[in-house]
Structure 1
């Protein structure tokens, strides 16, 4: 018998267990901590890990992340032979693309300024630009970055993208590698970070990067809080280097009540809701990957540990 162990909320566990019984009965769906015979468990689906969890699964072969990233997982706990797979499913992709489009439009139309004006009773109008008069640059051209550019395309922005390795995306000017980063940043009015969080990208949204953007650029970070040097953003806002920002993630989550981001009128904050793993759709992506593994096929989203994504 092959079994998959789910670690997470009971609502999701119940829904997915029922779907497995119907769609993939040859793989028994079990819910932590009721693991049954641990020797049956070849697959694990979880958001985070503990030493006790990994130690309880001597025959684990594949770890599925609940989310699109893996930085929340302590990979030092995972034996080298265990394959790690990111979640790629329509719910995450669509909600992230919609969030990016909404955020870009909010910053393009100066919503932080107008929200603060409403709060203090002001009635001041700023000059209005057309979308085609601004450029939007997306850092990270994986599944989510490509979907974001596709969602933005009908709005008319001049689209740009940057990735560690070369990409070609219709309708967007693409840049790659450290050698082309300056050219990408120098022509980007609204910067969107959708990079994976790795040792190379941690802290990339810093004073050094902000200084290479056009004066008064806007920032959207919907990737991970670890990408942003928070004090550098506050300084860039004070200096006018950055005009406004939309942040879905932070170094510490939930964002502390006394954190300056909570009260800064130039920053709009959301509680890590940009890309959402939907119970109704993610289970089908998981089942599809299990079928692939049982058939000896490659798994979409499988992580290269040497690259960190």
Structure 2
């Protein structure tokens, strides 16, 4: 029996995925007939490879479908879809994870070493300085799921004093792991640098606000490659203006592209990057999708299944 796989995403994504996904499926399903296409009769579809900005928003006609396999790490745009009754998986892939690790460690080191002093120098002053060692710098990783854990472990490998925080209890070797509201307060109290890697859920929105920003050491740094709504923008701008926060490096925003008149663009203590911290790579993402289809067909548990109640 042929396995029918619907690719439900924007046309430009199909151009990049058609070849690597076909190749990954052939390797994962040797000898198995399959059809991968962007247009299939709903009642004949077995799997849906999906991007939340797809035109497909009503899953009711897909009566034979076994799973929706999301191409993105973020699933907040689909978890509330009441027509989706079958398992939903999120994208956790090697390329995305390593891209995030590299971006985060780069910006942590930038602020830890004070690189902007020399990179943005506007004078001819010769002012030698000795930055602290990594072991003398405390970094908090807020959100220690798959991406957060990888970032925390990389920072530990560089010698940083790393605290991880999540809403539920976690354990990571070499990382002081905290959880719950009291744990967040404890994590922020010592966080000279905070990296935000939480999902966007009702429980995490505005997790950095006037109250929590005030709990951080004066002159701390914020790095947000997670989700825009994690931060109360007005509160962050106030904290930057007062010097409570020395600098914020932001990769994600409530509205994207970031509007041209947004105060972040012109603020001297904000770095804006255009949602580039971690991108899904077509080849490695295709391997994850193909492996999940193989597992499903073999009766094995799917990888990275979304908890719809938690939203991730």
Relative to the length of structure 2, the TM-score reads: 0.90
Matches within 5 A, 1:2-41: 2-8=3-9, 9=13, 10-24=15-29, 26=32, 28-32=34-38, 34-35=39-40, 37-41=41-45
Matches within 5 A, 1:141-160: 141-160=144-163
Tell me, yes or no, if structure 1 residue 107 matches structure 2 residue 111: yes
With 3-12 and 284-293 compared, the bigger mean Cα shift is at 3-12
Tell me, yes or no, if structure 1 residue 86 matches structure 2 residue 90: yes
Q: Quickly say closer, same or farther: Cα 1:191–1:27, change in 2 above 3 A.
A: farther
- The answer to whether the 8 Å contact 1:113/1:265 transfers is no
Structure 1 residue aligned with 2:285: 282
Structure 1 residue aligned with 2:72: 67
Q: Helix, strand or coil for the counterpart of 1:75?
A: coil
Deviations 1:95-114 (A, max 9, x none): 11111101111121234455
Give the whole-Å Cα distance in 2 for the aligned partners of 1:50 and 1:99. 31
Q: Helix, strand or coil for the counterpart of 2:5?
A: strand
Matches within 5 A, 1:1-309: 1-8=2-9, 9=13, 10-24=15-29, 26=32, 28-32=34-38, 34-35=39-40, 37-48=41-52, 49-50=54-55, 54=59, 57-73=62-78, 75-79=80-84, 81-115=85-119, 117-118=120-121, 120-121=122-123, 123=125, 125=127, 128-309=131-312
Q: Quickly say closer, same or farther: Cα 1:206–1:165, change in 2 above 3 A.
A: same
Deviations 1:64-110 (A, max 9, x none): 1111120132632533x211101111011111111110111112123
Give the whole-Å Cα distance in 1 for the aligned partners of 2:118 and 2:232. 26
Q: CA deviation at 1:11?
A: 1.8
Q: CA deviation at 1:22?
A: 4.8
CA RMSD of aligned residues (A): 2.1
Q: CA deviation at 1:121?
A: 4.8
Q: CA deviation at 1:2?
A: 2.4
- The answer to whether the 8 Å contact 2:141/2:194 transfers is yes
- The answer to whether the 8 Å contact 2:25/2:290 transfers is yes
Give the whole-Å Cα distance in 2 for the aligned partners of 1:216 and 1:124. 24
Q: CA deviation at 1:212?
A: 0.9
Q: Quickly say closer, same or farther: Cα 1:180–1:12, change in 2 above 3 A.
A: same
- The answer to whether the 8 Å contact 2:3/2:35 transfers is no
Where structure 2 has 5 or more consecutive residues not aligned to the other structure, the ranges are: none
- The answer to whether the 8 Å contact 2:60/2:83 transfers is no
Relative to the length of structure 1, the TM-score reads: 0.91
With 137-146 and 148-157 compared, the bigger mean Cα shift is at 148-157
